[in-house]
A and B are shown apart, each in its own frame.
Chain A
Amino acid sequence: MGLFNREIFNRSKWRRFNILVIFVIAGFLAVIARLAHLQLFKGEALAMKAERQHQQVIDVEGERGIIYDRAMREIAVNLDMPSLYGTPSSIEDPWKVAKKISHEMDIDSSLLAKRLDNDRHFVWIRRRVPPEDVKKIGDMNLKGIGFIPETRRFYPKKELIGHLLGFTDIDNHGLEGLERHYEKLLRGKKGTILLESDARHRPVLTSTLFDPLKGNNLRLTIDEVIQYIMEKELAAAVDKHHASDGVGIVMNPYTGEILAMAVSPRFNPNTPGNYTSEQWRNRAVTDVYEPGSTFKLVVASGVLEEGLISPNQIVHDGRESMMYGGAVIHDPHPTNQPMTFKEVIAHSSNVGTAKIGITLGKDRLYKYAKTFGFGEKTGIDLPGEVNGIVRNPATWSGRSLITISIGQEIGITPLQLITAASAIANGGWLVKPHIVSEITDSSGNIKGIKPELVRRVISASTSRKMVEIFKEVVGPNGTGKLAAVDGFSTAGKTGTAQKIDPETGKYSRSRFISSFVGFVPAESPEIAILVIVDEPKGIAWGGSVAAPVFKRVAEQTLLYMHVEPTEREQLKIMAEN
């Protein structure tokens, strides 16, 4: 290797490597300089450009789920109400455009022109425009003006079912009723859309990052026709008796499916702003009232279940009044004859029931009130349900045992009462009432809601005895005879509760709540019905005010449901004719 010097060769290779290193260092310095240029010196200008570009990304609400009744009739739908927007950067003469738009719809021309006179990529002009305006503005074919599809909630049946449905706000978020309770399911999923202009600078929706997804559809247990029957008859009764308001419920006593739930007076969920929040309330679940005699079902079931008294046992001598715990209670229509247990309930004797209550005793009365579901939420799928008020026996006064036995001094919701009555109707089971029967997601998967049993309340034999007693109530000598449905054996209980006078704080002699709860046909009930009329003027007996409503609703509903009248009754009708 004579002339070749390895040391020099190796060093020269190292020098070459260092030349590469210098290049790399220079490269990294160039990158850092470039980053400073892009992010620091030109940063703001670039960020503005980016910001303008990002204005083109628009969130679009997914359509809200539809609500159907039992027979898949639409009761809450969405109307197409596109929203009008502009892309100022592609508008040449904002004043002219603003003038044209304000000519067609109610919008301030100069304010609009100012909004359009900048280089933004996107501004809203008006959210949810009515269809006729959409057409007029669409026909003008303006540069830089376009519509994005949006919807608005609409209730085609207006007042019908209004209290149950509730309503949504302008952004389609549920505020009351089912709309609120099922907000998460009903609400659509937001989509993201990129807005760009076509060659003629008209904005077009180009790519979609996420398609907006439709919310879940709900199918209710409510039947629009039965609901209509109930609302109509309830309103007629409230009207006829000049009552302040009323509540009516129709329920399947075996499954807890609510077929109708009406509140009078009604409200139109399309225009909730025209009503007070008081009027939106679904009193069937949100309001507590003192039930009066309908609550006697608790004490009666209790003594039967405990085997303390049998239905035909004489329990009362028929006297008009009695003293207990320092108070006197009266019977409005004393018979002055010995009465059996059955007759006490059929005539709704307060004194007789008080005696039964004393036999049952404080603790067991409390136990049965709780077992029947009073004092706790039924768990229905509606917002705002309350517990009601069932006080612990330790806090009762001396007279509480008898006043609670006859349904005063206790607070319940209408829904609790019909659920308790259903337990008698269905052989002794407390069911969980519900409104929604099916949930269908945006890809069509159906989730069915199964009926739920909460617990056994009374034995089947107790329930049979109670049905017999309740049939007596509707019988020719009972307080509820006006509830008897032609062609069907009917069972139920009347109630006339005194309200507390807010001025005196004592039970009023002029303010009553009249109610009737029952089921039909008595032996194998198809429906349980509760009617409550609040503060009727004049005659206020539950048997006179509420029982006829029960009868008319039951008749029409059974006819609609194609329930055949029981044969024996049919013969009787034919004989009478």
Chain B
Amino acid sequence: MEASPQSISYVQKDRLLLILVMGLVGFGLIMIYSASGIIALKNYGDSFYFLKKQMIWTVIGTAAMLLISKVDIDIWKRLPLPLMGISYLLLLLILIPGVGSEINHARRWFRFGPLSFQPSEIAKLSVIIYLSAYLVKKDEKIRDFFDGFLPPLILTGVMFLLIIAEPDLGTAVVIGIGSAAMLFIGGARMGHILGLFVSFLPVALALVLNIGYRRNRITAFLNPWEYSSTTGYQIVQSFLSFGNGGILGTGIGEGRQKLFFLPEAHTDFIFAVVGEELGFLGSVSVTLLFTFFLWRCFRIIRRHWGSFEGYLSAGISIFIGAQILMNLCVVTGLFPTKGIALPFLSFGGTSLLTNMIMVGILYAISGRSPVKYPLEGHRYYSKKRTFRKKSGAGNLELPLGGDF
């Protein structure tokens, strides 16, 4: 049942969400400078090399976020297939030698002068929008295999394989897990989802065991200290960073691990630099800031549950949340090493831009009053939240009314 346009009303947008994100990005700039300044001076003769780039992307990202937050949410409902098409095109183009720029045997970027652009990041966004629109459209038909479950499986599956081919396992894993989670909350049959996992297991095993550096990452993960001078080097250096930070940390800019020892200090392992320079108090504070961010997301999702906005905000939160959690787990050695950046904090332009666009969409959704409360009657609402309903809110329709 579609809401009539007249019934859409607007409420105060979630400013706190925006403040939180800008705070995290600003903090990220400080940490990026601290982590990269000396290396940048050595390699590029300019200690602000990475900071400048990230600042340009911050400006672009902030502008994009504010712009997107003004856009009517319903537009995204009409765009999923064009967006998927563009993503596919870019992901195919980048694999052509000479078009995509190759760094460390990986073709992940388009270069535009000083800035580089990573299409797999845009792919994430299109998958989220596509799945949200699809889940709303199919509704309970998602439980059907051929008419419901299979089409998104194929579309995201091929995309997953294209990103693996770059190779960019980290982003592929995020898209895989994120898509599966969206199908899961979208009501797909558990049998289908379990079947997907079971059939993917041999593929995953083959991938992990065949490609040397990934296997090494697994063995290093299982016993980092034994491989501390080879494959476990990075994670051991991350441990030493956290340990060196202790409770209070060495102070911003005073960390020594980033000098020779901790690789990728300003990108994937920036949280280890936070841990060293700001100590346990700093690393826990940052972790809590991320959970606080996710809680703001949760509030938005709950209000829009069951609608396109609900799926969209849930998808965005799942993708960003998965990246945050996976990065934190990798850096603290709870998860094998993968190339996953920490949203808002790590150096990386396209990733920052995409994440800020996603926050822009969330911000727009937060300003939209739900046309109905789909969870009305759910114990969550009936027991705890009924007192919030005002007698004047008589325009609220009965939950899911009309269909039966």
* Chain A residues packing against B (C-beta within 8 Å): 1, 4-7, 9-14, 16-17, 20-21, 24-25, 27-28, 30-32, 34-36, 38-40, 42-47, 49-51, 53-54, 56-57, 192, 194, 207, 209-210
Q: Does B383 contact A (CB under 8 A)?
A: no
Cβ-defined contact, A209 with B260, below 8 A: yes
Across the interface, A24 reaches (CB within 8 A) one of B243, B294, B377, namely B294
Cβ-defined contact, A35 with B244, below 8 A: no
Chain A residue with minimal CB distance to B228?
Answer: A49
Given contacts A36-B280, A38-B332, whether A47 and B301 have CB atoms under 8 Å apart is no
Q: Does B60 contact A (CB under 8 A)?
A: no
Given contacts A11-B378, A50-B257, whether A35 and B187 have CB atoms under 8 Å apart is no
Cβ-defined contact, B242 with A46, below 8 A: yes
Chain A residue with minimal CB distance to B281?
Answer: A39
Cβ-defined contact, B334 with A30, below 8 A: yes
Chain A residue with minimal CB distance to B321?
Answer: A24
Q: Show 10 residue pairs from A and B whose CB-CB distance is below 8 angstroms, ordered by the A residue.
A: A7-B400, A16-B185, A28-B287, A28-B325, A31-B329, A32-B284, A36-B284, A39-B242, A39-B283, A43-B245
Distance A227 CA – B283 CA, assembled complex (angstroms): 66
Distance A35 CA – B246 CA, assembled complex (angstroms): 10
**For chain B residues 311-361, which have a beta carbon within 8 Å of chain A?**
314, 318, 321, 325, 328-329, 332-334
Chain A residues near B181: list those with CB within 8 A: 20
Distance A5 CA – B404 CA, assembled complex (angstroms): 8
Chain B residues near A57: list those with CB within 8 A: 256, 259-260
> 7 tightest CB-CB pairs across the interface, nearest first?
A46-B243, A39-B280, A50-B244, A38-B242, A50-B240, A34-B332, A17-B185
Distance A34 CA – B331 CA, assembled complex (angstroms): 10
Distance A10 CA – B140 CA, assembled complex (angstroms): 9
Given contacts A17-B301, A50-B241, whether A6 and B332 have CB atoms under 8 Å apart is no
Distance A394 CA – B149 CA, assembled complex (angstroms): 106
Cβ-defined contact, B246 with A47, below 8 A: yes
Distance A559 CA – B283 CA, assembled complex (angstroms): 77
Interface of B is mostly: helix
Distance A10 CA – B401 CA, assembled complex (angstroms): 13
Chain B residues near A34: list those with CB within 8 A: 332-334
Q: Does B15 contact A (CB under 8 A)?
A: no
Cβ-defined contact, B140 with A1, below 8 A: yes
**For chain B residues 170-221, which have a beta carbon within 8 Å of chain A?**
181, 184-187
Cβ-defined contact, A13 with B287, below 8 A: no
Distance A19 CA – B333 CA, assembled complex (angstroms): 24
Chain B 271-302 near chain A by CB (<8 Å), digits 1 or 0: 00001000110011001001100100010010
Q: Does B83 contact A (CB under 8 A)?
A: no
Chain A residues near B240: list those with CB within 8 A: 46, 49-50, 53
Given contacts A38-B242, A39-B279, whether A31 and B325 have CB atoms under 8 Å apart is yes
Cβ-defined contact, B378 with A14, below 8 A: yes
Across the interface, A39 reaches (CB within 8 A) one of B42, B243, B305, namely B243
**For chain B residues 13-48, which have a beta carbon within 8 Å of chain A?**
38, 41-42
Chain A residues near B294: list those with CB within 8 A: 24
Given contacts A20-B184, A39-B243, whether A7 and B399 have CB atoms under 8 Å apart is yes
Chain B residues near A10: list those with CB within 8 A: 305-306, 374-375, 400
Given contacts A10-B305, A20-B185, A21-B298, whether A44 and B333 have CB atoms under 8 Å apart is no
- How near does chain A come to B144, taking the closest CB pair, in angstroms? 12
Chain B residues near A21: list those with CB within 8 A: 298
Chain A residues near B50: list those with CB within 8 A: none
- How near does chain A come to B200, taking the closest CB pair, in angstroms? 19
Distance A39 CA – B140 CA, assembled complex (angstroms): 48
Cβ-defined contact, A31 with B287, below 8 A: yes
Give the interface centre of B38, B240, B325, B375 by most chain A CB atoms within 10 Å: B240
Chain A residue with minimal CB distance to B242?
Answer: A38
Chain A residue with minimal CB distance to B249?
Answer: A39
Size bracket, chain B contacts: 35 or more
- How near does chain A come to B190, taking the closest CB pair, in angstroms? 9
Across the interface, A53 reaches (CB within 8 A) one of B186, B247, B261, B329, namely B261
Known: A13-B185, A56-B260; 14 extra A-B contacts, CB below 8 A, are A5-B404, A11-B375, A11-B378, A12-B187, A16-B184, A21-B298, A30-B329, A31-B325, A35-B283, A40-B280, A43-B242, A50-B243, A194-B260, A210-B41
Chain B residues near A47: list those with CB within 8 A: 243-244, 246
Distance A42 CA – B239 CA, assembled complex (angstroms): 10
Across the interface, B244 reaches (CB within 8 A) one of A17, A28, A51, namely A51
Chain B residues near A28: list those with CB within 8 A: 287, 290-291, 325, 328
- How near does chain A come to B67, taking the closest CB pair, in angstroms? 29
Cβ-defined contact, B374 with A1, below 8 A: no
Distance A24 CA – B260 CA, assembled complex (angstroms): 34
Distance A1 CA – B403 CA, assembled complex (angstroms): 9
Distance A215 CA – B84 CA, assembled complex (angstroms): 58
- How near does chain A come to B221, taking the closest CB pair, in angstroms? 13
Distance A36 CA – B245 CA, assembled complex (angstroms): 11
Chain B residues near A210: list those with CB within 8 A: 41-42
Distance A11 CA – B38 CA, assembled complex (angstroms): 54
Distance A54 CA – B301 CA, assembled complex (angstroms): 47
Distance A54 CA – B334 CA, assembled complex (angstroms): 25
Distance A16 CA – B279 CA, assembled complex (angstroms): 36
- How near does chain A come to B239, taking the closest CB pair, in angstroms? 6
Distance A1 CA – B290 CA, assembled complex (angstroms): 42
Cβ-defined contact, B275 with A39, below 8 A: yes
- How near does chain A come to B45, taking the closest CB pair, in angstroms? 11
- How near does chain B come to A204, taking the closest CB pair, in angstroms? 14
- How near does chain A come to B165, taking the closest CB pair, in angstroms? 29
Distance A297 CA – B16 CA, assembled complex (angstroms): 83
Chain A residues near B261: list those with CB within 8 A: 53
Cβ-defined contact, A13 with B260, below 8 A: no
Cβ-defined contact, A35 with B284, below 8 A: yes
Chain A residues near B321: list those with CB within 8 A: 24
Chain B residue with minimal CB distance to A30?
Answer: B334
Give the interface centre of B242, B325, B404 by most chain A CB atoms within 10 Å: B242
Given contacts A4-B140, A9-B140, A35-B280, whether A14 and B241 have CB atoms under 8 Å apart is no
Distance A10 CA – B290 CA, assembled complex (angstroms): 28
Cβ-defined contact, A46 with B239, below 8 A: yes
Chain A residues near B260: list those with CB within 8 A: 56-57, 194, 207, 209
Cβ-defined contact, A27 with B287, below 8 A: no
Distance A540 CA – B119 CA, assembled complex (angstroms): 92
Distance A55 CA – B168 CA, assembled complex (angstroms): 36
Cβ-defined contact, A35 with B329, below 8 A: no
- How near does chain A come to B229, taking the closest CB pair, in angstroms? 10
Across the interface, B246 reaches (CB within 8 A) one of A7, A12, A43, namely A43
